[in-house]
Homo-oligomer: A and B are copies of this chain.
Amino acid sequence: MLEELKAKVCKANLDLVKHGLVLFTWGNVSGIDREKGLVVIKPSGVSYDSMKPEDMVVVDLETGKVVEGDLNPSSDTPTHLVIYRHFLKVGGVVHTHSTYATAWAQAGKDIPNIGTTHADYFHDAIPCTDDMTEDMMAQYEYNTGVVIIDKFKKDGINPVHTPGVLVKNHGPFTWGKDPDEAVYHAVVAEQVARMAFISFSVNPQTTMNPLLIEKHFSRKHGPNAYYGQRKKK
C-alpha cells in the first residue's frame, strides 16, 4: 500500500544524507496521505546505505499504531503525528541533528530573521521551544510535538509561513506541503543557522528592517509571488 508515498519518503530520507544533514542514522522524514489518515515514516535506527522504499513503515495518524511494515518506526514518530494532527496543511515532516540548527537548539535561542535567505522561506524567527516540564517527560516524543504546537500557538506563528522549529536542547523539525519541501526547508534552516552564527559573531546587534522581511517573503509566497517560472501577471 501507498507505494508512491513510500518511494517519496525513502528518497527524501536519502536526500538528507546527500545534503550533509545526517550522521549515521540521526534523521527521519515522513509523509502523509491525509485521505487515508496514514503516515509513512523511516524505520528506527536503520542504516541509510541499503534503505529501500519497502522498509518504510506505515502508521495510523490518530492511534500511532503500525499498519504495515516489519520494522519499528522512527522513535520520533509520535512527534511527527502531533505535527500532522495540528498543522493541517503539512504533508511532510523532517527531523535532523544537523550541525548548526542543532547548535542553536542547544543554545536555547530562536534564530532571528536577519537576512533575505531566511525571509525567502521563513517569515518569522525560527522559534525555539520552551523547556518541557518534568511530568511531560514520561511521554517524551509525544510531548515534543506538544511543546512545538504550544510555541506556535502562544506566539501566534503561522506554521505554513514559518515551516520549522528548534526543539530546545535537541534539534530542528521542519515541514512542508510534501516530504521534498520539508527536506528543502531542513536544508534552508541549516544554512540560515550557519550564517546567523557568523553574522552575530561579526555584529552581535544586527537586525533586519521588518519591511524587507515582508518584501522578500512575498516575492516567493502568496498571490503576488514572482520568483521562478510562474506565469507573469
Residues of chain A having any CB pair with chain B under 8 Å: 23-24, 26, 43-46, 71-72, 75, 97, 99-100, 102-109, 114-117, 131-132, 134, 137, 140, 169-171, 184, 187-188, 191, 194-203, 206, 208-209, 211-212, 215, 219, 226-230, 232
A-B contact pairs, 15 of them (CB 8 A): A23-B188, A45-B228, A75-B219, A75-B226, A99-B195, A103-B197, A103-B198, A103-B202, A104-B198, A104-B202, A106-B199, A106-B208, A107-B199, A132-B209, A169-B212
List residues of chain B with CB within 8 A of the CB of A232.
Answer: 72
> How near does chain B come to A124, taking the closest CB pair, in angstroms?
15
Contact yes or no, B75 A211, CB < 8 A = no
Name which residue of chain B comes closest to A198, CB basis: B103
CB contact between A107 and one of B99, B103, B203 (< 8 Å): that residue: B203
Name which residue of chain B comes closest to A225, CB basis: B75
Name which residue of chain B comes closest to A167, CB basis: B116
Contact yes or no, B104 A115, CB < 8 A = no
Q: A115-B169, A229-B43 are in contact. Are A140 and B103 (CB under 8 A)?
A: no
Contact yes or no, A229 B72, CB < 8 A = yes
CB contact between A198 and one of B99, B116, B140, B212 (< 8 Å): that residue: B99
